[in-house]
Amino acid sequence: MNQVGERIHAARKGAGLSLRALGDLAGVSQTAISKYEKGEIIPDSGMLIKIGNATNTSLDYFFRQNNVELSQASYRCRKSLNKKSQSLIHARTVDWLERYLEIEHISNEKIEINLSGKENCYVDSLKDIESIAIMIRKQWNLGLDPIDNLIDSFEMHGIKVGLIDADKKFDALTFRHENNPVIAVAKNIPGDRQRFNLAHELGHIILNINPELDEEKAANRFAGAFLIPEEMMKYELLEKRKALDINELYRLKHRYGISMMALIHRAADLEIITDNIAERLYRLFSKNGWNKKEPGKGFPNERPIHMELLILRAHAEEKITRSRAAELFGEPLTNILNEYNEPEMING
């Protein structure tokens, strides 16, 4: 493949299209699309525009210089993903990160990673995780209070976070770029689940876990401890309880941005409630369908804004055109601004 061929292949995968489907949309045969991807035929600009329209990509996309490889990629999914879904997520994640790196280059700005080394995060028992979560909170100047915006906290300390529109089974994907951790998280999921997934992935990134321990349980324990530290759990619920009220859990969910089910797990982990009490609550949630959709108002989603601010700043400083800004956003600027209910950009 040449560069343009690689881009056509990536755009097709990112759109979830087969060779035949893209050919039909672009008005050529699947054989022609295959030859474009292999570099055997170089499409003209008119054909690239047709392919771009079919895959929701701009002409600039096919000549983008940043080529990203996802190393040590690790998926977090509720159920296993088929090859097509993984391919689509991979392509969309690569596209997002390439755009992020491009605007960093244009802005001459890159945030250095600020994470404790694994040598300081050794876990011999799950209880060790409590102090590690506090250590990271202290390093990030978060104190013990609820974290208002978890994505902002990640990005302020050098962990890029992207929102990926993907299969409903998908939760998150963690990988390395130039040895720095990057997280892609599902876009259309409840905010409390989104935050737990991010904290869970942070656990995988920093913890040095004894091989005899279950790595997923350790990452879950870290997620709970990071979102609501032990001291705050015991302050909110007391050290020992004979029961927990659903409305109590609901209020804590909206205070700390962690699901009611995760709070039950957390209370059991810290022995605030017994395993028997926890099991009764799990059965109650299952009986009412709350294990799939928790009662009451959902916790709002978060979104990463650092990349968006870099693009808007570059446009304001006339480093990029309006069309270039739209290409870096990956969608029309009106879509971005409408999400904030803000007026459309002027002087474009």
Let me know the angle formed at the C-alpha of 197 by 191 and 202, rounded to the nearest 5 degrees. 130
CATH number, domain at 124? 1.10.10.2910
Residues 148, 25 within the same domain:
no
- Tell me, what's the pLDDT at 339? 60
Domain boundary among 19, 48, 63: 63
CATH number at residue 47: 1.10.260.40
Query: Does 328 map to a domain?
Result: yes
Q: Which two tokens stand for residue 326?
A: 């739209």
25 burial class (0-12, 13-18, 19+ CB within 10 angstroms)?
middle
Task: Tell me the pLDDT of the chain averaged across its residues.
Answer: 89
**17, 39, 63: which is the final residue of a domain?**
63
Q: Do 268 and 311 reside in the same domain of the chain? A: no
Q: What confidence score (pLDDT) does residue 122 get?
A: 95
pLDDT band at 66 (very low <50, low <70, confident <90, very high): low
Is the same domain home to 184 and 281?
yes
The total domain count for the chain is 3
Q: Do residues 44 and 141 share a domain? A: no
pLDDT, position 337: 63
Segments forming the whole domain that contains residue 314: 306-339
pLDDT of residue 348: 40
pLDDT of residue 338: 63
Task: Indicate whether 83 belongs to any domain.
Answer: no
Distance of CA 163 to the CA centre of its chain: 5
Instruction: Give the residue from 63, 87, 106 where a domain finishes.
Output: 63
